[in-house]
Amino acid sequence: MKKIKMMLPANQEYVSLARLTIASVATNMGFSIGDVEDLQVAISEACTNAICHSIVPEATYDLTYIIGKKDLTFTVSDTGIGFEPDLVKLPGDNEDALASGFGLFVIETLMDSVEIVSKKGVGTSITMVKNLPSEIPTLVPIPHRSWSTKIQDTVENLYGGFAFKNNLSI
C-alpha cells in the first residue's frame, strides 16, 4: 500500500492539482476512463467544500491518497467551520439544492464508499473509496493504419466516397 499526502491552499485555482494527481494515480492503477472522470469530479467537489467552508483566507486543506491493490482511498480534510452530516438535505428535499448538500450527494453517488467526519468549529474530513472492477476488460489490438487511410475512410463514410472517386479536394 502506498500513500501520497498533499497540503493545498484553500484557493480554487489549486483544485486542478488534486484532479491531476488523482487522475494520474487512478490511471496507473488501471481504472477506466469513466472511473477516472468520476474520481476527478468527486475530489473536485470535496476540495470545493473545503475551500468554501474555510474559516480564514490563508487556510489550507489536506489530501491523502492511499493506493491499495484493489481500491483507491482518498481523504480531503480541512479545519473549516464543520457541519452536521446528518442534517444535510438531499437534492429535492431542499429549496436551494445547489447551495447545500448537492456536492456531497454527487460524491456519494460516484464513489463506492464515503465517510464524513465533521465537528463544528474544528473541520471536516471526507474519505472516499473507489474499488477497481473485479475484471478489467481485455483490450483488442486494432491493426495499424496510416493517418491518410483513416482520414480517407472517414471522408468516404461521410460523403459516400464521392470526393475520392471523383478526385475532388475537400
Q: So where are the chain's domains?
A: 2-131, 140-170
d(CA 28, CA 39): 13
Which pLDDT score is estimated for 83? 78
Mean pLDDT of 106-128: 93
pLDDT of residue 49 exceeding 60, the answer is: yes
> Under DSSP, is residue 86 helix (H, G, I), strand (E, B) or coil?
helix
- Tell me the CATH architecture of domain 2-131: 2-Layer Sandwich (3.30)
d(CA 110, CA 131): 11
Regarding predicted confidence, which is higher, 82 or 21?
Answer: 21
Average pLDDT, the chain: 81
Lowest mean pLDDT among 38-47, 64-73, 112-121: 112-121
d(CA 48, CA 147): 42
pLDDT of residue 84 exceeding 60, the answer is: yes
Element (H, E) at 88: none
Mean pLDDT of 129-134: 93
d(CA 111, CA 44): 13
